[in-house]
Amino acid sequence: MSGDADPSEADTAARRAVVAKRVDSGAADLTEIRQLAAAAGYEVAGELTQTRTEDAAFMFGEGKVAELRDLVRRTGAGTVIIDNDVGPYQTFNIGGELPEGVEVVDRFTLILEIFGQRANTRKAQLQVELAELRYELPRAEAKASLAKRDERPGFMGLGEYDESVERDIKRQISEIRDELDSIAEKEEARREQRRDSGFDLVALAGYTNAGKSTLMRQLADELAVDENDERHRDLDTTAESQDMLFTTLGTTTRRAEMEKRDVLLTDTVGFIADLPHWLVESFESTLDSVYRADLVLLVVDASESVEEMREKLVTSHDTLYERNEAPIVTVFNKIDRLAPGELADKRAALSGVAPDPVAVSAKTGAGVAELRDRVEGELPEWERERLVLPVSDDAMSLVSWVHDHGHVAEETYAGEQVTLDFEAKPSIVSRARARAADIAAPPTEESA
């Protein structure tokens, strides 16, 4: 009988993890890294924290690394997830102190693993690959620098370095950027086509687990978009709403139910704390759905502490206002979790960063009607127009088109004329006027 381990047991051990975090001061919070680990499919079997300045060689103190080794042995974990930005040599040093075969994963490697699992479209896959390459590039450059300085290709056990590796990474980054630029151009053309069709574009933004996808299901009219319609053939059929980080990696667009206006609502990947600049930039193409919207709904989890809400609001505003020109409406979600009087206290405490939030519960639907009213009120103003047309087939075609692209307040018929009183986007009003002028114009000699 073979003494080899059962492959299924090895797989189980690999997905069993110990999470660890070091902070300079205060107490380390492992809540988010536990959620991230669960989102990646790990079972958290143990936890370790340390408050001290960073150790250049091990990130943690050597004594704490010994504790980590013992914890891994006791729990049978196959992976150690460290909620810090761990350098390549620190990763190597920590791994050298752990039982053989135990993998060391830092915060950003874990996030990239989750992104890779969620990447179901070509665009998402390209963005994940770009992030992975940008993560690897400085490590490749560091290997080159140290190998040249110490004249030891295998310095620190990192393996022999080949300069072509660095060049190849840069080449791949350039090729992926070119393909993502091409995709972005097509998406921008699609956005403009939707605007030309009379749609306003509203984007949901906010941190992971703020409830964006659940709110989208409250606002969306699941039956309103014909999936075979050429204008919306790219729209997803569902918007997931699970208590899990990063259930939405790409974008999901649905038609939203509004009283007057035709609105397309897009849910995007959630923000997450302490993301490095290179990772945010890698997903810039996805964030274009937010940056180029007509209105942004910034969703915040109102059940969190005031301090957490303020920090996330400030960071979100910094991210959005840097490139976004559309108005931003702050949405306090999950009010069903608040005690009586708690919402008023949080409104007052956060008035400086969220002066006029809309309070909702995406779970129960409370406040959603008020949010719809706010969305219509904050979108760019429509123009009012009154057209008087001779009754004809062309006029009836125009009347039908205006109904599809604007809000008709009154449609009356008197004799051989139809009067149409409506509101619409300025571009739609301009096109309606031009078509009305052609219908009302007397025939030329050539056409006669």
The verdict on whether residue 248 carries a ligand-binding annotation is yes
3-class DSSP state of 404: helix
| 413 annotated ligand binder | no
143 is in an annotated binding site: no
Residue 89 annotated in ligand binding: no
Tell me the β-bridge partners of 358.
331
Q: Which residue from 267, 297, 301, 302 is spatially nearest to 372, judged by alpha carbons?
A: 297
At CA 127, angle to CA 16 and CA 251, rounded to 5? 90
96 annotated as belonging to a binding site for a ligand: no
The answer on whether 120 is annotated among ligand-binding residues is no
Query: Is 200 assigned to a binding site?
Result: no
Q: State yes or no: 119 annotated in a binding site.
A: no
Q: CB of 239 within 8 A of CB of 254? A: yes
User: Is residue 212 marked as binding?
Assistant: yes
> In this structure, are residues 98 and 133 in contact, taking their beta carbons and an 8 Å threshold?
no
Q: Is 270 annotated as a binding residue?
A: yes
- Can you count the helices (H) and strands (E) in the chain? 15, 13
Q: How far is residue 149 from each of residues 93, 144, 155, 156, measured CA to CA in Å? A: 20, 9, 10, 13
- 369 in a labelled binding site: no
Q: Cα dihedral angle (259, 333, 213, 221), rounded to 10 degrees?
A: -20
| Contact assessment for residue 399 and residue 432, using Cβ atoms and an 8 Å cutoff | no
The response to whether 252 counts as a known ligand-binding position is no
Q: Is 247 annotated as belonging to a binding site?
A: no
Query: Is 81 known as a binding-site position?
Result: no
The pairs formed by 434-439 with CB atoms below 8 angstroms and a separation of 24 or more are 435/394, 435/398, 435/401, 436/387, 436/389, 436/398, 438/394, 439/389, 439/390, 439/392, 439/394, 439/395, 439/398
Residues in the chain: 448
260 is in an annotated binding site: no
324 labelled binding-site residue: no
213 annotated ligand-binding residue = yes
95 is in an annotated binding site: no
Q: Which residues are annotated as a binding site for GTP?
A: 206-213, 267-270, 333-336, 361-363
Q: Which residues are annotated as a binding site for Mg(2+)?
A: 213, 248
Q: Which residues are annotated as a binding site?
A: 206-213, 248, 267-270, 333-336, 361-363
